[in-house]
């Protein structure tokens, strides 16, 4: 005794078919009639087609649960039909019928997506068993696919929640300093977007892209420890003031150090190294070349691009040709020359980010 949808099926077939639709495809009317009688008696709703073209027409107009198809037919074969509807399997299950006791043909049928294979001359019970088994397998595969889709959806939702939580942590950290310097609020947002785009161009994994997108905006978090008189000074800084300003790199790293969260760990490296220069003339440690973490080299370039492209309290935005000139002249001594080349070759992408995120105060958070 077999089961379908939890109901027993005896020799007469599946009593609980719920009018499952079966398309019978055979060039011989007598075969189609015999199969229709067997299946109709078992409770199935049957439709017929004499060739592949007719079968495809029926499938286009009707909801079909199973196709019972002869392999050898004039013109296109049953295998051609299976190939034609392969993208709809397992929504439609397929059982092949043939008078040829051909193992290779049977294997090819299964490889192409057929659920079963019946030889002529067939017995009514054999047809019903194969149809029942194919429908049951169809149900299980659809249920499995649905479960997989649900799991994938849950993973996407959880990933989104994690990403949103990570971004909120970063923005709350940044907001502490941005309350004191709101004109750069969109600057930090753009830095994250620029950095993510650069990471994609470098072929980083999506997880790494998301990490630097959240980490790069924290590059100036150490400015929270810089006095307002220096941070917001509209004129040039004195030598002593510059010494204090430069301390924002080590202060930022100190704020972020010790975390087990990857994007905060990266944020600490960026905060510490985003003012290092390729030729070793930067600060705080005068690192040179690839001694500077790649994420800090990326942020250094993008920080300068954004700073000179936008208005600050001490300057007006520069025209793009001057911005490009500064970046080109900085290649090999201020910036990683390979990153400069990649950046300039894809300037349109960064220009779009700049245009889509104009300066405005970064919304603050209450209850910090």
Contacts of 266 (CB under 8 A, 6+ apart): 211, 212, 215, 295
Q: Check whether 182 has a pLDDT greater than 80.
A: no
* 112/353 Cα distance (integer angstroms): 47
Q: What is the pLDDT of residue 230?
A: 86
More confident residue, 78 or 67: 67
Model confidence at 247, pLDDT cuts 50, 70, 90, reads: very high
Identify the helix (H) or strand (E) that includes residue 46. strand 45-49
pLDDT, tens only, 101-117? 666 776 787 888 888 88
Q: With 70 as the cut, is the pLDDT of residue 282 above it?
A: yes
Distance CA(32)–CA(6), nearest Å, equals: 29
Question: What is the domain partition of the chain in residue ranges?
Answer: 2-149, 179-356
Phi, psi of 68 (to 5 degrees): -110, 110
Residues 303-342 have pLDDT tens digits of: 999 999 987 766 788 999 999 999 999 999 999 999 999 9
**163 contact partners, CB below 8 Å, separation of at least 6:** 210, 214
- Give the pLDDT of residue 87: 82
Output the average pLDDT for the chain.
84
Q: Which CATH architecture has domain 179-356?
A: Orthogonal Bundle (1.10)
For the chain, report the end-to-end CA distance as a whole number of angstroms: 67
CA separation, residue 74 to residues 27, 80, 134, 277 (Å) = 7, 12, 26, 75
Task: Kindly report which listed range (113-117, 128-132, 240-244) carries the lowest average pLDDT score.
Answer: 113-117
User: pLDDT value at position 5?
Assistant: 36
With bands split at pLDDT 50, 70 and 90, how would you rate the model's confidence at 167? Answer: low
pLDDT at 259: 84
Alpha carbon dihedral 83, 89, 92, 93, in 10-degree steps, equals 80
Whether residue 78 is predicted with pLDDT greater than 50 in this model: the reply is yes
Residue 368 has pLDDT above 90, yes or no: no
| Same fold flag, 2-149 and 179-356 | no
The 8 Å CB, 24+ separation contacts for 8-14 are 9/128, 9/132, 11/125, 12/41, 12/42, 13/38, 13/39, 13/41, 13/42, 13/43, 13/44, 13/128, 13/132, 14/42, 14/43, 14/44, 14/128, 14/131, 14/132, 14/135
Residue whose entry in the numeric block shows the structure tokens 């002593």: 240
Whole-number Å distance between alpha carbons of 208 and 109: 44
Whether the upstream peptide bond of residue 284 has omega within 30° of 0, thus cis, is: yes
Q: What is the mean pLDDT of residues 178-186?
A: 56
CA angle (353, 356, 361) in 5-degree steps? 105
Instruction: Say which range, 140-144, 173-177, 223-227, 254-258, has the weakest mean pLDDT.
Output: 173-177
pLDDT number for residue 115: 86
Superfamily of domain covering 2-149? Response regulator (3.40.50.2300)
Residue 10 has what pLDDT? Answer: 43
């Amino acid at each position: 005794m077999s089961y379908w949808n939890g109901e027993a099926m005896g020799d007469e077939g599946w009593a609980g078919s719920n009018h499952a639709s079966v398309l019978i495809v055979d060039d011989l009317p007598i075969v189609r009639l015999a199969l229709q009688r067997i299946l109709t008696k078992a409770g199935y709703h049957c439709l017929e087609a004499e060739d592949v073209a007719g079968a495809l027409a029926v499938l286009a107009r009707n909801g079909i649960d199973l196709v019972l198809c002869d392999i050898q037919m004039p013109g296109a074969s049953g295998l051609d039909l299976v190939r034609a509807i392969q993208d709809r399997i397992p929504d439609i299950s397929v059982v092949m019928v043939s008078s040829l006791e051909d193992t290779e043909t049977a294997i090819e049928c299964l490889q192409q997506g057929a659920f079963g294979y019946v030889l002529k001359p067939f017995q009514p019970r054999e047809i019903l068993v194969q149809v029942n088994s194919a429908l049951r397998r169809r149900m299980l595969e659809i249920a499995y696919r649905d479960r997989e889709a649900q799991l994938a959806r849950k993973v996407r939702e959880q990933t989104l929640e994690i990403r949103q939580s990570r971004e909120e942590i970063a923005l709350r950290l940044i907001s502490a300093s941005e309350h004191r310097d709101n004109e750069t609020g969109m600057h930090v947002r753009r830095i994250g977007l620029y950095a993510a785009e650069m990471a994609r161009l470098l072929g980083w994994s999506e997880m790494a892209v998301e990490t630097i997108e959240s980490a790069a905006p924290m590059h100036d978090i150490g400015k929270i420890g810089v006095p307002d008189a220096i941070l917001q000074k509209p004129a040039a800084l004195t030598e002593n003031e510059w010494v204090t300003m430069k301390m924002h790199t080590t202060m930022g790293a100190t704020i972020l150090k010790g975390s087990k969260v990857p994007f905060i760990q990266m944020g600490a490296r960026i905060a510490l190294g985003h003012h290092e220069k390729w030729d070793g003339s930067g600060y705080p440690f005068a690192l040179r070349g690839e001694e500077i973490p790649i994420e800090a080299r990326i942020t250094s370039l993008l920080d300068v691009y954004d700073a000179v492209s936008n208005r600050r309290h001490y300057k007006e935005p520069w025209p793009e040709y001057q911005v490009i000139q500064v970046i080109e002249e900085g290649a090999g001594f201020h910036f990683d020359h390979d990153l400069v080349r990649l950046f300039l070759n894809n300037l349109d992408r960064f220009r779009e980010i700049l245009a889509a995120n104009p300066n405005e105060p970064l919304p603050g958070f209450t209850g910090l």
